[in-house]
Structure 1
């Protein structure tokens, strides 16, 4: 893994994030995307906050970047769920880079809007009213675009909205022509009346060139990320110019805080949502028997849960090795996690503020204390986690090992969790905008017409939003925003089910079995070393392995118990 970072000094973008490249770059590409932010609701099922004017609505990239930046970088924000299999900092840096590119474009558009729009405000308002009608019509027709067959009522609605959209522009053109040919007033003001309807059109032509150049740049970065190219996320604002540059220092500190939080070992279980950040539980493998001394021993040697947990963690760390050519498993990351229980509907997570914490991580002795005490009846437990990042980060497979001792009964449970691939919206590459229309003279045949990359409505939308780039709160109020789900995990918020893809499903199923076997084998060896009769445990392990020959994923956290 190559990660270039020279701190302090010139910022050199990181070019590789190891086995999680695909997921990281797919999420990063969303910052550069165009299209209406209504797609986020239609394709992701995301929650959107509606604005007051359809003309001010953000694009997909604008809404995504603003939502992620506002959620991850403020000094006073809610804790984040770690994004396994993803470099969250790189995604946020791409959001900052995309925002800076749009700000550079908006500075140029603001000048055009000021000269050609604000100075000729009466005419500008007429044109804006026409495009607002078109924006409202487009918003109403957006749900119909996903349908292949429309009902009679839907066809009538489509025709009505198209008519009103065209009529609004014709009215604006008529007023412009009337005022240009015969202004309603005479004298020196007649020249202003003539220009007030024409100047916004001139500004539109200038703005279109700016918008087109920006869109081509953003789409090239979007496509470059998905093609696996090296697209640098340069964030000059995070590099302090001197010791007094507090704004850059604060931004840099926020990014470092984000990186540190992703390495936390405090995790949260939220009912049917599963272990936050790792997905829902899909299988449970148990080995549960009473502890009895082995033959020839009056009693077995006592041990703590932490002793067995350490032994299991050591074995899982070496399970990837194979004596057979090509048999080596993908890298298995093994850690000791503290898991806290949350209600399924909780909208916030928390982490302890005790002396056992070192930043966002609990020190080993703190985890050991939790592991060695009785946790039945509490909301906190210590587990061993073995995690594999598969399919370039598109799948994260996790096995959680929980050890429970009640009286003389030992239960070793292994739970499989799976985090599926990102939604297809994030892996869709930029395509030319096109539409199919009937051929002239052969109406029963269709032809494909390539549409302009930036249409008239998009130019007006970008130009009217540009002057407010320094007031993001007002833009949200005017045009709306993306509402992120809480507790927020950058990776888990946009996933599709793992089990809808054959190769990914097999990867999760197959990689889990060696981990389950290693847990049970290590437990038996550990008990034998402590003079425990392992016959029953061995039988239980053999039965478990037999059952797992045909294991199928199921909703392990759904109990039909009333």
Structure 2
């Protein structure tokens, strides 16, 4: 079992040895939300890769050296997700609250497998017809590359001048081949050099069309809510020396482990990465005096207050009436918050003797809560989180308790992360063309076009043999780089304030959470014989302020 212990230590998670299939299956953990499905569906999409730059300008697309090898959106997204989230030496990830990053990665691997099966068939066709009639294939590839250079790589028309130039080049090539003084079988072979690749294109077009329909079916099913979980048999080792499967398995386990880390990062006006911007802040600060002027108050620590709030907030979904209320209890976490700055390009995870996997040890969290109140980088916050609207709204309330001299300060902060941008919710549309009726020219007829046109078949056939060398394909065809620090959920999120019900839910949740936390505070103070009179007056003021909270930008200080 030593091997499993090493893997557990590396991944930071436990393993299930109960009977049953060990093939990873996405959605098994209850993560089949609309957000997870929308992000996962991107791996199956087609279209222009640069469209994703419109939803986050932090992403980058490298221009191709050979435009014929440029990836489409789904290919580039799949490659970017795999390299960013499964590479052994990858940078730390931001937690994806309200989504399951492992589900998205598994669908990326599933989409890669579908394309890899297509590329095997295309490579076979290229090997048979491409090698046998290599000069003709090179001529056709050169013509299509010339067309893409004239038109631009993004499906723009070359224009009449470009088409005339291509036609002239093609005619010259045909005349040159026809006038070669050859005879016998060699002449027949030379004459077949140009027509033979057309047969290969016909076979390749059928393969590409079938795969395109398969990919679009997955895309549509995920956005329609009926998609099945992605199976990733590549992550199941077939033998003890299956290094690639072991790499994928460890990578998926690390994603789950990092998702449960208790460290988050504050990025200035961006708020806490993964939780969204801070939209509300309320604080209470008062001097500590004993209830009996002639006596002393009991000694207590900030952790005692935080722990009491934790115990009471667990029950906030229970009320005196059998109506309304929260559907679920909040997810409560003792967070360690580390400041990284607004323009930070990376984050860090705990290491050293105080780390346990990707998290701080409970003892270290308690120490930070009790001791790190002033001048330290890491701070303790008690967090309460709700994920609502099928993952489209993530609201977090963070409470910090600190003591400076005699002043006890309790700060409440509210964060909100809205839905993913509408770009990820676009469903596949059939390709159609409107033409005039052949016998009734006054009528227009709409007909459905193939999903894969001539140019796309040539592009896929040219890329197919190179898919087994992804680094070279990235070099010559370009690639997508994801925005950093990267997290699947917050990178594509909108603000929730344009959605009426999301806004109501975020604002309405504030009152019971803050009031329950303040009741916990007063109880701890009374138990430790502290004069609560001044605190009660402040509590009443905050209690009134949170009745009608107004979203603001407390982290944007214009000085």
TM-score by length of structure 2 reads 0.90
The alignment status of 1:27 with 2:39, answered yes or no, reads yes
3-state SS of 2:241 partner: coil
Q: 2:487 aligns with which of 486, 489, 498?
A: 489
Change (3 A) 1:507 1:446: farther
Q: Distance in 1 between matches of 2:150 and 2:315?
A: 61
- C-alpha contact 1:6 1:12 (8 A) present in aligned 2: no
Q: 1:294 aligns with which of 279, 291, 294?
A: 291
RMSD: 2.7
The alignment status of 1:196 with 2:193, answered yes or no, reads yes
- C-alpha contact 2:26 2:102 (8 A) present in aligned 1: no
Q: 2:371 aligns with which of 353, 356, 373?
A: 373
Per-residue CA deviations over 1:278-328 (Å, capped at 9, x if unaligned) read 111111111122222225663322210111011111111111223333423
Q: Distance in 2 between matches of 1:325 and 1:450?
A: 55
Matches of residues 110-129 of structure 1 in structure 2 within 5 Å? Answer: 110-129=123-142
Matches of residues 201-240 of structure 1 in structure 2 within 5 Å? Answer: 201-240=198-237
Q: Distance in 2 between matches of 1:189 and 1:218?
A: 43
3-state SS of 2:479 partner: strand
Q: Distance in 1 between matches of 2:440 and 2:263?
A: 66
Q: Distance in 2 between matches of 1:199 and 1:308?
A: 79
Once the two structures are overlaid, the 10-residue window that deviates more, 344-353 or 385-394, is 344-353
**Superposed displacement of residue 262, structure 1:** 0.8
Per-residue CA deviations over 1:221-252 (Å, capped at 9, x if unaligned) read 11111111142312111111222323222221
Residue of structure 2 in register with 1:556 after alignment: 554
Residue of structure 1 in register with 2:417 after alignment: 419
Change (3 A) 1:445 1:379: farther
Matches of residues 19-58 of structure 1 in structure 2 within 5 Å? Answer: 21-45=33-57, 46-58=59-71
**Superposed displacement of residue 39, structure 1:** 1.5
Once the two structures are overlaid, the 10-residue window that deviates more, 255-264 or 162-171, is 162-171
Residue of structure 2 in register with 1:315 after alignment: 312
Residue of structure 2 in register with 1:147 after alignment: none
- C-alpha contact 2:26 2:231 (8 A) present in aligned 1: no
Matches of residues 176-191 of structure 1 in structure 2 within 5 Å? Answer: 178=175, 182-187=178-183, 188-191=185-188
TM-score by length of structure 1 reads 0.90
Q: Distance in 1 between matches of 2:147 and 2:498?
A: 39
- C-alpha contact 2:279 2:414 (8 A) present in aligned 1: yes
Q: Distance in 2 between matches of 1:438 and 1:549?
A: 63
- C-alpha contact 1:9 1:239 (8 A) present in aligned 2: no
Q: 2:360 aligns with which of 340, 359, 362?
A: 362
Q: Distance in 1 between matches of 2:22 and 2:493?
A: 35
**Superposed displacement of residue 503, structure 1:** 2.2
Change (3 A) 1:174 1:279: same
- C-alpha contact 1:402 1:414 (8 A) present in aligned 2: yes
The number of aligned residues is: 542
Unaligned ranges ≥5, structure 2: 1-15
3-state SS of 1:499 partner: helix
3-state SS of 1:72 partner: helix
Q: 2:520 aligns with which of 522, 537, 544?
A: 522
- C-alpha contact 2:337 2:381 (8 A) present in aligned 1: yes
- C-alpha contact 1:297 1:531 (8 A) present in aligned 2: no
- C-alpha contact 1:436 1:447 (8 A) present in aligned 2: yes
The alignment status of 1:62 with 2:75, answered yes or no, reads yes
